[in-house]
Amino acid sequence: MDRIRLVGGNELRGEIPISGAKNAALPLMIASLLTDEPLVLQNVPRLADVKQLERILENHGVDIAVHGRRRGEEDAVGQRMTFHAADIVDTTAPYDLVSKMRASFWVIGPLLARCHEARVSLPGGCAIGTRPVDLFLFGLKQLGATIDIDDGYVVARAPKGGLRGAHIVFPKVSVGATHTILMAATLAKGTTIIENAAQEPEITNVAECLVAMGADITGIGTRTLKVVGVDRLHGASVDVIPDRIETGTFAMATAMTGGDVLLRGARAEHLDAALAILGQTGAQISVEGNGIRVRRNGNGIQPVDVDTDPFPGFPTDLQAQFMALMTMSTGVSKIRETIFENRYMHVAELARFGADIHVDGQLATITGKSQLKGAQVMATDLRASVSLVIAGLAARGETVVNRIYHLDRGFERLEDKLSRCGAEIERLAG
Ligand code: UD1
């Protein structure tokens, strides 16, 4: 298993190109199941999770092509890809494929809408709590589907004539359930209202893609989505939005090491809450024409309290990285994780750097230290892993992060991007 070796202490200085968002690319790829025409996606990040979803889509019969770069794009991150589901040859998503990544469960919506049946294994993914699928099943049932659980599989069938529009009020905000029901509703008969929908920018990216494919959706970007079903969708060409979690991660890394980094292509409106909090810690944030600039010049890191919340709140996917930053603040800060019940696996690993963190249920209390010390640590889940890299960049001496396959699921060219900004970081094979 590959490892990452870092020697901390260097300030980050330079420019980092922000990749396409993993959490937008995955559902956009899944949307290709809704039409027999090609869906072209620009700026798809090269990540293990994308590769994994390609395998799943190919199993359903999707033809996938990766296109070369155009002149002038040689330095671009991401890739242009076409997904063509001319025929769905198999409506089963098997355990060995779905268990590796939770988002692959989302194929259930488009498969059910287009083929009127789907058999999808219960999902896997990062072990950050129980992560049930009750909201998905609730929404699909409202659209008229019958659901059985058979041998670890969800077996869903649409009523005769296909799914039917419905008024769905989600009892809890879920990104995945919103994506899935939104996609399913585009081909349902009649009108669907989705209340308490997730508002994340990735939902907007997918909703706008569906509209480009011929869907009738209003309320995009709000808590209430209205979908008037259409008979069929067609092909389209859509850009994957820049990754706000990658942006926030590098912003926090810069705030922690000090320095001056331009996050090229990043969109500030996708992470207002996180940027405001970073500003309170003493980092200087400025929005420039081609991205976001983050600076911190020698001043101490101020302690700031944070609760994670659905968008537009502070994202749970930046909680671990922010905690890394707070381990070097000049005082005591509190973080409350409100989205997932078990998302503090990085705490024990951050302690290896000498961090002082006390967890009581959903609340973590972090007493800042003036210096961390490099350590041997273990990556546990995707975002937790990168918090260890950030801590290592700021710590004195050598850090080795083991089990970095989690990082490869969600961060494109991480070592390359950081080393170009002055970090001493390398991948050790095997
Ligand atoms: C997505 C993101 C993930 C992010 C999360 C929250 C992708 C690929 N992943 O995950 O990076 O951390 O949003 O912003 O986009 N829940 C239920 N029942 C359900 C579904 C969810 O109780 O049927 C709960 C979950 O356990 C969790 C909360 O709802 O406590 C939010 O989860 P959800 O928004 O669904 O997360 P994901 O879509 O899995």
Q: Write the pLDDT tens digit of every residue in 190-203.
A: 999 999 999 999 99
pLDDT tier, 430 (very low <50, low <70, confident <90, very high otherwise): confident
Nearest to 324 by CA among 267, 248, 260: 248
* CATH number at 22-239: 3.65.10.10
Q: In a mutational test of the pocket of ligand 1, which residue from 174, 182, 205, 346 has the highest number of ligand atoms less than 8 Å from its CB?
A: 174
pLDDT for res 299: 84
Q: Please give the Cα distance from 292 to 275 (Å, whole number).
A: 10
Q: Please give the Cα distance from 409 to 8 (Å, whole number).
A: 24
pLDDT for res 71: 63
Nearest to 215 by CA among 238, 231, 204, 200: 231
Token digits of residue 193: 């209202």
CB distance 337 to ligand 1 below 6 Å: no
What digits encode the pLDDT tens for the residues 38-78?
Answer: 999 999 999 999 999 999 999 999 999 998 766 666 556 67
CB distance 129 to ligand 1 below 6 Å: yes
Q: Find the mean pLDDT for residues 372-398.
A: 94
Q: Supply the DSSP symbol for 143.
A: T
Average pLDDT value for the chain: 94
Answer whether 214's CB lies under 8 Å from 62's CB. Answer: no
CB distance 159 to ligand 1 below 6 Å: no
The β-bridge relationship of strands 79-84 and 63-67 is: antiparallel
Helices (H), ranges, 312-425: 319-326, 345-351, 382-394, 405-410, 414-419
pLDDT for res 77: 63
Could you give phi then psi for residue 190, rounded to 5 degrees? 90, -165
> Which range is least confidently modeled, 59-68, 179-188, 275-284?
59-68
pLDDT for res 406: 87
Answer whether 120's CB lies under 8 Å from 98's CB. Answer: yes
pLDDT tier, 126 (very low <50, low <70, confident <90, very high otherwise): very low
- Looking at the chain, the whole-number percentage of residues with pLDDT higher than 90 is 87
- Flag whether pLDDT at 124 surpasses 80: no
Q: Please give the Cα distance from 80 to 72 (Å, whole number).
A: 14
> Which range is least confidently modeled, 68-77, 116-125, 360-369, 391-400?
68-77
Minimum CA distance residue for ligand 1 atom 7? 23
Please, what is the Cα angle at 109 between 191 and 118, to 5 degrees?
125
What digits encode the pLDDT tens for the residues 230-277?
Answer: 999 999 999 999 999 999 999 999 999 999 999 999 999 999 999 999
pLDDT for res 99: 87
Task: Specify burial of residue 152 (Cβ count, 10 A radius: 0-12, 13-18, 19+).
Answer: exposed
CB distance 102 to ligand 1 below 6 Å: yes
Q: For tokens 């997904």, what's the residue?
A: 83
Q: Find the mean pLDDT for residues 207-218.
A: 98
Minimum CA distance residue for ligand 1 atom 21? 174
Token digits of residue 423: 């970090």
**Distance from the CA of 260 to the center of ligand 1, in angstroms?**
33
CB distance 317 to ligand 1 below 6 Å: yes
- Looking at the chain, the whole-number percentage of residues with pLDDT higher than 70 is 96
The β-bridge relationship of strands 191-195 and 397-402 is: unpaired
DSSP secondary structure string, 191-233?
Answer: EEEEES----HHHHHHHHHHHHTT-EEESTTSS-EEEE--S--
Q: For tokens 């590959």, what's the residue?
A: 2
Nearest to 396 by CA among 421, 425, 371: 371
pLDDT tier, 380 (very low <50, low <70, confident <90, very high otherwise): confident
Q: Please give the Cα distance from 343 to 381 (Å, whole number).
A: 9
pLDDT tier, 163 (very low <50, low <70, confident <90, very high otherwise): very high
Minimum CA distance residue for ligand 1 atom 24? 131
Answer whether 377's CB lies under 8 Å from 349's CB. Answer: yes
pLDDT tier, 123 (very low <50, low <70, confident <90, very high otherwise): confident
pLDDT tier, 139 (very low <50, low <70, confident <90, very high otherwise): very high
What digits encode the pLDDT tens for the residues 301-311?
Answer: 999 999 999 99
- Flag whether pLDDT at 130 surpasses 60: no
Q: Where in the chain is the domain with CATH 3.65.10.10?
A: 3-18+242-428, 22-239
Is 421 one of the annotated active-site residues of the chain?
no
Q: Please give the Cα distance from 382 to 386 (Å, whole number).
A: 7
Minimum CA distance residue for ligand 1 atom 29? 174
* CATH number at 3-18+242-428: 3.65.10.10
pLDDT for res 128: 42
The β-bridge relationship of strands 117-121 and 153-157 is: antiparallel
pLDDT for res 131: 62
Nearest to 210 by CA among 183, 242, 231: 183
pLDDT for res 328: 97
Helices (H), ranges, 33-101: 48-60, 95-98
Q: Find the mean pLDDT for residues 216-226.
A: 98
Cis peptide before 312 (omega within 30 of 0): yes
Q: Give the three-state DSSP class for 8.
A: strand
What residues have CB less than 8 Å from 49, skipping those under 6 apart? 22, 26, 101, 103, 409, 410
Q: For tokens 């059910």, what's the residue?
A: 112
Burial 333-368 (b: 16+ CB within 10 A, else e): bebebebbeebbbbbebbebbbbebeeeebebebeb
